[in-house]
């Protein structure tokens, strides 16, 4: 079983998660994804903090997440796909200058899934999807 910190707050139920604004789930998912990428880079790269930060940005940008989604989307369960769509279709978030609207919405959907799984406490599935996303990004970088 994968251990993952919930900082003592515990897990949320599916009902509680369904009542949260999907942008709140994406907010948490963004932080979880960023931490995963930083930890992965720390393990695989021997460099300074500035270079680590630059490389991390390449992984967590809306464009990178949107591209990696192509590999991950077919592997989502029905429940995860519904959560993804809630995040992707949510309104209220402004699109950053450096992102296209479609990429940003798709990235928001993916982050919503990450946040959902984290708050649900399904850490094994969360890490599985985070790793698949990172692998897809690595393949994209090589090609």
Catalytic residue among 6, 30, 46, 122: 30
Measured CA to CA, the distance from residue 90 to residue 105 in angstroms comes to 8
Measured CA to CA, the distance from residue 106 to residue 67 in angstroms comes to 9
Query: Which residues neighbour 14 within 8 Å (Cβ) at sequence distance 6 or greater?
Result: 120
Phi/psi at 8 (5° precision): 80, 5
Measured CA to CA, the distance from residue 36 to residue 25 in angstroms comes to 16
Report which DSSP code applies to 45. Answer: -
CB atoms within 10 A of CB 91: 7
Q: Is 30 a catalytic residue?
A: yes
Query: Which residues neighbour 54 within 8 Å (Cβ) at sequence distance 6 or greater?
Result: none
Catalytic residue positions? 30
């Amino acid at each position: 079983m994968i251990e993952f910190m919930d900082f003592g707050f515990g897990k949320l139920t599916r009902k509680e998660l369904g009542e949260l604004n999907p942008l709140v789930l994406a907010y948490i998912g963004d932080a979880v994804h960023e931490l995963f990428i930083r930890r992965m880079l720390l393990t695989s790269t021997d460099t300074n903090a500035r270079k680590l930060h630059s490389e991390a940005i390449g992984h967590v940008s809306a464009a990178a997440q949107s591209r990696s989604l192509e590999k991950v989307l077919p592997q989502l369960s029905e429940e995860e796909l519904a959560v993804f769509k809630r995040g992707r279709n949510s309104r209220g978030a402004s699109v950053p200058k450096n992102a296209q609207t479609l990429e940003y919405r798709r990235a928001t959907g993916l982050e919503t899934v990450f946040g959902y799984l984290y708050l649900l406490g399904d850490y094994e599935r969360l890490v599985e999807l985070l790793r698949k996303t990172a692998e897809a990004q690595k393949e994209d970088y090589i090609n």
